[in-house]
Amino acid sequence: MIKFLRLAAVCGALALAGYPVFANTLRYGGTTPPLTMDPHSTNDFVTASLVRQVYDSLVGLTNDMDIEPGIATAWAPAGENTWRFTIREGVKFHDGTSLTAEDVAFSIMRQKESALYRSMYGQIREAKVVDAKTVDVISQGPDPILPRKMVRLFVMSATWAKANNVEKVPDLGAQGTEAYSLRHANGTGPMRLVLQEPAQRTTFERNRAYWGTFSGNVERAIDTPIASAPTRVSALLSNELDLITDVPLQDIERINGTAGFVVSSAPQQLFMQLEMDGTRDVALDIWDKNGQPLQANPFKDLRVRRAFAHAVDAKLIVDRVMRGQAFVVGTAAAAGFGGYQKDLDVRWPTDVELAKKLLAEAAIPMASSSSSTARCSAT
């Protein structure tokens, strides 16, 4: 695996003019619609960012990627395999019912069974209610980073789930899947779901009974997915939308130069990388320079993988392809990730001659300038 670069994500362009048709309504345009409103059925980035407006996580996450109290106000070890969470009092779901320790325990056990969350929560053996404000989470073995994992553990109402027959996580991959939690929600977050129109728009309203501090003045938010980047930019510049994300790199200067608009960017926890299949004896979709499938997997040889690492000029990708809106990384973590070490964040230097030498040592023939180039597709 070669870590190329971390996006300095151009998160969004904002219309500054006081245009909104309805006072304090935010009209927002993203690239894709949420896949579901069920907080446990997918770990899709776009879906999770919208679901988080409705559902609170057990442990909170600051804008600087540090953990903070959420539904749990405190946590501490209570044995070799156990973490004890203290549950916040006075929290209400959007339907007016009070959140309980039973809801927390139910949510933990429900989300741990989700196929896309088993890598995070699959080692949890039991979520045990100790008393009205305490839940013990017992794992199969010691898990020192469990509290940090809980920033993605969304709390839902056990009673609501049972009443609507969604005690188990619906399978989004199953053909014809339909469940109440896919289009409806009952969380404790700062915004409540008003209407979910799949692939068209999602409407939220401010939760005036929110237990936490509500930042900003948004009373209503309407998310309209627009896949086409030019159309999304046009909708912003024509004041049909107040905010868009995923601004095309080539449009940044134009938007910034338009009166009443500004582009805001921040580092994003997203990597672009080249992954090489070094496990199979015969790799998938790899051909020689004559277009014939290779019978052996060259990426099983460390020298070949190193050659690719030295041959790719990641800085050139940043400058030319990403137009400076990214930066090169040398590790699988970056500032903001737990365990990040700046002194280790050094990428191998670009050295084409060394790459050629390594390929020669591995007996990999190289195409000449007049020959067809070997092709490799990701697997």
pTM of the predicted model as reported, rounded to 2 decimal places: 0.79
* Integer CA distances (angstroms), 95 to 72, 159, 306, 324, in order: 20, 11, 56, 47
Structure letter (DSSP) for residue 321: I
Closest by CA to 155, choosing from 60, 43, 234, is: 60
Mean pLDDT, the chain, integer: 87
Look at residue 165 in the predicted model and tell me its pLDDT.
Answer: 95
Closest by CA to 110, choosing from 101, 119, 118, is: 118
Q: Is 65 left (phi over 0), alpha (psi -120 to 50) or beta?
A: left
pLDDT in tens, 115-158: 999 999 999 999 999 999 999 999 999 999 999 999 999 999 99
Closest by CA to 362, choosing from 293, 285, 305, 279, is: 305
Residue scoring higher pLDDT (269 or 56): 56
**CA atoms of 12 and 263, how far apart (whole Å):** 6
Cα 266-270-274 angle, rounded to 5 deg = 140
